[in-house]
Amino acid sequence: MSHRKPARAGLVGKAFLTLLSPLRYPAESDLLGSAALFVAPHKASALGGMQMQAISSLVANNEEFLLDGPLVGTIGDRDGESFLFDNRGEASSEGGSEFSGITVRSEGVVVKNNARDIGFSGPDQSVEVSGDRVTIRVPPLVFNPTFAVRFVGGPFNNQSVAEKGYQATALAIVWASNNAADIPIQSYDQLTLGGGAIALDVGSTVSAGGTFTPGSPLSEAATGAGASVRLHSAISSVTKSAKPNWHYRIHFGNSLSEILDESGVKGLSNSQLQGSRIGTLAFAASAGTYKWISYPVSYGLADPDTKFIDAVTNLNVPMNDPSVISITNAFGHTADYYAYRSVNKINGALSVRVD
């Protein structure tokens, strides 16, 4: 006989398998509001002794209690590790209700004889023995799906960051359960982008999301706070949010020139998208050149004497007061930029941390 009943969602704290004396069969209605897992011995005339039979299996942390036979039970987590106990009890020949307890084995090793109750808790997986109690800790099942928004097609395909001014032709709005085997996503609703309801393209799936192709290209303003969705599993419902980002491009590199204009800044050998000025920029060695760094005014004025640091020596790299240059990027977006130049020519390679 095999008895397997999934745990009810939302049960918290500890649940105890309690061996009752005197023995009784609790009503099913009693169990539904209880955090206890009851196992009641009953007379088995064919064997002339006592057997254990699971009446209900309400176990905390959404685990399961498995009764694989009349004498052996298995308490298993969702990763295959299990603890076995032998439900061997003794009864008097007159049919009395004495019960000596159970023997608990972990990986074949006896950890407790004649245990009168078993507790379940999380999150660590272990077995503890204290007096007549055996506590088996198993990792709880938690529904915490991933959620991401990325650009589809174009120069920023499969990335979550694009350059200011870029307009997206499609977005990938994707999600996945953190434990797809045991906590599959069953449905979703309340899918929005920029606060408005949207529908994913044909071919998108409940378990993984899909692609959203708008009627016209999406600007940064149109996406607003980003995408949001409510995901449902058998355990719980979770609302997840994420947004694509549009960042400015920071320009940096070596130049022989003491003064740069827009074309000079855009012609520097290095550039990268950043959400702030803060970061470390690597310059190659170049004889007789200045180190230049240019970023948007909206990222804030950095003190040229204290905010540019040699990442190796931790010493200041003195910079001149910046000039302000209007720069229009490849997507037609215009912004004012600060352009900093090192006070001195620096021949060698250098990594500069901008604070």
**pLDDT digit string (tens) for 58-76?**
233 333 334 333 344 545 4
Q: pLDDT at residue 274 above 90?
A: yes
Q: pLDDT at residue 213 above 90?
A: yes
Cα dist from 21 to 39, 116, 172, whole Å:
11, 10, 59
pLDDT at 109: 65
pLDDT at 224: 94
Residue 228 sits at the vertex; the CA angle it makes with 225 and 234, to the nearest 5 degrees, is 160
> What rounded mean pLDDT belongs to the chain?
75
Calpha distance 163→273 (Å, rounded)? 7
Q: Give the mean pLDDT of 23-50.
A: 26
**pLDDT digit string (tens) for 90-103?**
333 344 444 455 66
Asked if 73 contacts 105 with a C-beta cutoff of 8 angstroms, the reply is no
Residues in contact with 46: Cβ distance below 8 Å, sequence separation at least 6, in sequence order: none
Calpha distance 72→84 (Å, rounded)? 7
Q: pLDDT at residue 310 above 50?
A: yes
Calpha distance 163→248 (Å, rounded)? 6
Q: Which pLDDT band, with edges at 50, 70 and 90, does 84 fall under?
A: low
pLDDT at 61: 32
The β-bridge partners of 283 are: 350
- List the chain domain ranges: 3-137, 146-243, 247-354
**pLDDT digit string (tens) for 313-323?**
999 999 999 99
Q: Which pLDDT band, with edges at 50, 70 and 90, does 182 fall under?
A: confident
CA nearest neighbour of 250 among 164, 165, 312, 316? 164
pLDDT at 154: 95
DSSP state, residue 297: G
Calpha distance 302→315 (Å, rounded)? 16
pLDDT at 1: 27
Q: Give the mean pLDDT of 10-20.
A: 31
Calpha distance 70→101 (Å, rounded)? 15
Please indicate whether residue 319 or residue 54 has the higher confidence score (pLDDT): 319
Per the structure block, which two tokens stand in for 240?
Answer: 């997840």
Calpha distance 337→324 (Å, rounded)? 6
DSSP string, 132-176: TEEEEE-PPP----EEEEEE-SGGGTT-SEEETT--BS-EEEEEE
Asked if 103 contacts 86 with a C-beta cutoff of 8 angstroms, the reply is yes
Q: Give the mean pLDDT of 313-334.
A: 97
